[in-house]
Chain A
Amino acid sequence: MPEKPIQGEKRVFMTGNEVIAWAALAANADIMYGYPITPQNEIMHYWTRMIPKYNRKFLQTEDELSAGFTTVGGVLAGRRAFTATAGPGNTLMQEPMSMAEAMRLPVVVVVQQRGGPSTATVIYSQQEVTMTTLGGNGEGLRVVYSTATHQELYDYTIKAFNTAWKYRFPTFVLGDGYQAKMRESLTMYDPADRGIEMVATEPYVGKPGMPGVDRDPTHLRNTYNVEEELYEVLEQYLADYAKAAPEIAEYEAFDTDDAELVVISHGVVSRAGKAAVQELRQAGYKVGYFRPITLRPLPVDQLREVANKAKQFLVVESANGQLDRLVKEATFGCPVEMLPLFKPGVGITTEEVVARVKEIKG
C-alpha cells in the first residue's frame, strides 16, 4: 500500500493547477485521462509527476473527444476517473459528457476557462459558463462548481468526486486561467481526517454473477428506438435531478437583508465582488453580495428570495452575460432590475465594481 499523499494538515503555497492534482490524489482518484491545453496543462504535469509514488494512472489521448470518452470508460470500469481541459477542449468534451449524462456516469471534469470563442487566448475568461452548465445535446443534467480560491479548488475537487458518485451526474469544477496560474496559500488535508468519507466507486460493467439470474442485468444506453422509451428515462432523470438540486446547490452571501443593490458574481470575479461590497458598505452604500458556488444547479430559492427584496442586481462577470442569463431565468418574475458589468475574456477588479456601483447610485 503506498503511503497517503497528505499526512496531517499541511500549509502550502501553490498554483491552482497543482492544487487540483494534489486534491485528486487526496480524493483517491485512480486515473486521469487528458489531452494538453493551456491553461490546464500543469494539472497533467503534476499528476504524472506524482502518481508513480502513489500507484495511480494516467493516459494521454489523441484529443479531447478521446480524453472525454476514455474518462467515461474509466468510470464504466468502476474507477474514480477524471479529466481536465479548457476552451476548445471543453467544446470537444461536450459529446462524451452528453454520453455521461445519458448513462448517468460520475465523470469529473476540471475546466480552466480561457478566452473564447475558439482558440482566442490561453489566459482567462468566464466564457465557458453556458457550455459547462448546459452544453451537449441534452438537458444539462450535470453539476458545476465555480471556485474562487485555491482552498476551494482543493475542497471542491475532492467534493466533485463525491457529488458525482453519490448522485451519478457528471460533475465539473469550473476554474479559470487566473486560478490555474495564480499562486496562493491553502491548507491541504486528507479527507478522512476532516470526516469526509469518499463515496465508494463500483464498476458499471463486468460485475460478478449471471445477469438476470444472480443480479439485474446492466443496461446502459445512450440510444433508444422510440421516443416514448427516451421520454420515460428522461422523466426519471429529470425527477432525480430536481430532487438532488436543493441538496447540491451552494452559495455564499452577506449583507443582502437590507441591500438595495446586490452584486452577483461567481468564481474568481467574486473576489472583486466581495471586496467591492465590503468597501461600499463602509462608505454607507446599501449593497449586498451574492455568489452562486454551484452554477448548475443554481441556488434558485435563495436567489429568488434576494431578488424579491433587493431593487437591483448588478451582475459582474468576465463574459457577455452568461451568468446573467442563468440568473435571469432563475429569478424570472421577480421585480428586481438587472444591471450588467460584463467584460468578456478580461479580468475585473474591485475598483471597477466600486466605480460601477457609484455610477448607478449617483
Chain B
Amino acid sequence: MEAYVGEYASGKSEVAVNRAVDLAAAGREVTLVDLDIVEPCYTLRPIKRELQEQGITVLAWETGETVGLGETGNVLRAENRWALRRSGDIILDIGYGVEGAKTLNLLEGAGADPDLQVFAVINIARPMTGSVHDIVAYVRELGTVHGLINNSHLGDDTDVDIVQQGARIVDEAARQLNLPVVATTAVPEMAALIGPVDIAGHPVRKLVRYMPRTLW
C-alpha cells in the first residue's frame, strides 16, 4: 500500500499512475484510488477507462456521477473510503497539497495500517519546494511521510540537468528529514540518459506521461 502526496502540480498523480501501471504489468493485482476530493474533475477521471484496460482497478468518479464539480468540493466515494481493505496492491493518489494530505484520515484503517507507506513527490521546479530548506518545511507540514521521490521536471522542457539538480537537493532534504529517497522519476528519454541510478545514487524509475491527457 502506497500513498502519494505532495505539492499541487508536483507530479504525484503521474507517479502514482505509473506505479500502478508498472505493478499491473508485473502481473500483480492493483487498485488505484483517486483521492482528490477538492477538484476531482482535474485528475484521473479522463484516463480511468484506459487504465482499467491495463488491468488496474480504478476507484475514481465518473463524469456522470459527480456533483458540484470543482466548486463545492466533493464527497468521498463510499468505495474509496474502504480502499485499504481491498486485496492486492493499493496505490493512493492524494490531491491538493497539505490540505489534501488530510484526506488520508478519511480512509478506514489509514491510521493503523502498518503496510501503508506515504511518499512525498517533490519537483524542485515548483518554487514552494525549490530548495532544501523549503522541502524540509513542506514535508514536515504533510504529517506522516515515509520517503521522498524526486520528480523534478519542467514539463516538455525537462532536461537531465533539472532532474539531477533535483536528485541532489531532494537527497539533502531527505537526509535532514531522516527519510529515505525512494526513487528519482523521469520520462524514458531522460531516464535513459541518466542510467539506472541518479547522481545521488538513488534508483531511477521511468515515467510515462499520462497526465497531460487528463486536463479535461
Which residues does A use to contact B, with CB under 8 Å?
10-15, 18, 22, 38-39, 42, 49, 121-124, 178, 181-185, 188, 347
Contacts and interface: CB of A to CB of B under 8 A. Distances in A.
Contacts of B128: 49
Contact of A185 (B41, B127, B130, B155): B155
24 contacts: A11-B154, A11-B157, A12-B126, A12-B127, A13-B125, A13-B126, A13-B153, A13-B155, A14-B9, A14-B126, A15-B8, A18-B8, A42-B8, A122-B69, A122-B70, A122-B71, A123-B70, A178-B215, A181-B42, A181-B215, A182-B215, A183-B155, A184-B155, A347-B216
B127 A10 contact: yes
Most buried by A among B71, B126, B162: B71
B125 A11 contact: yes
B115 interface: no
Nearest to A124: B216
Nearest to A183: B9
Nearest to B154: A185
A13 B71 contact: no
Contacts of B69: 121-123
A102 to B, nearest CB: 33
Dominant SS at the A interface? mixed
Contacts of B126: 12-14
B156 interface: yes
7 nearest CB pairs, A to B:
A13-B125, A185-B154, A122-B70, A185-B157, A38-B71, A183-B9, A122-B71
Contacts of A182: 215
Interface residues of B, number: 21
A12 B9 contact: no
Nearest to A150: B155
A38 B70 contact: yes
B123 interface: yes
A137 B153 CA distance: 47
Contacts of B157: 11, 185
Nearest to A184: B155
A268 B190 CA distance: 29
Contacts of A18: 8-9, 127
Contacts of A184: 155
B155 A12 contact: no
Contacts of A178: 215
Contacts of A10: 127, 130
B127 to A, nearest CB: 6
Interface of B: 8-9, 41-42, 69-71, 123, 125-128, 130, 153-157, 162, 215-216
A151 to B, nearest CB: 11
A22 B130 CA distance: 14
Contacts of A12: 125-127, 130, 154
A161 B161 CA distance: 34
Contacts of A347: 216
Given A11-B162, A123-B41, A185 B215 contact: no
Contacts of A123: 41, 69-70, 216
A185 B11 CA distance: 14
Contacts of B162: 11
B164 to A, nearest CB: 14
Contacts of A38: 70-71
Contacts of B216: 123-124, 347
A125 to B, nearest CB: 12
B134 to A, nearest CB: 11
B191 to A, nearest CB: 18
Given A14-B9, A42-B8, A124-B216, A185 B125 contact: yes
Contacts of A22: 127
B70 A39 contact: yes
A13 B123 contact: yes
A175 to B, nearest CB: 15
A259 B145 CA distance: 58
Given A11-B162, A49-B128, 16 more contacts: A12-B126, A14-B9, A18-B8, A18-B127, A39-B70, A42-B8, A122-B71, A123-B41, A123-B69, A123-B70, A181-B42, A182-B215, A185-B125, A185-B154, A185-B157, A188-B127
Contacts of B8: 15, 18, 42
A156 to B, nearest CB: 19
A10 B41 CA distance: 31
Contacts of A185: 125, 154-157
Nearest to A6: B127
Contacts of B125: 11-13, 185
Nearest to A46: B128
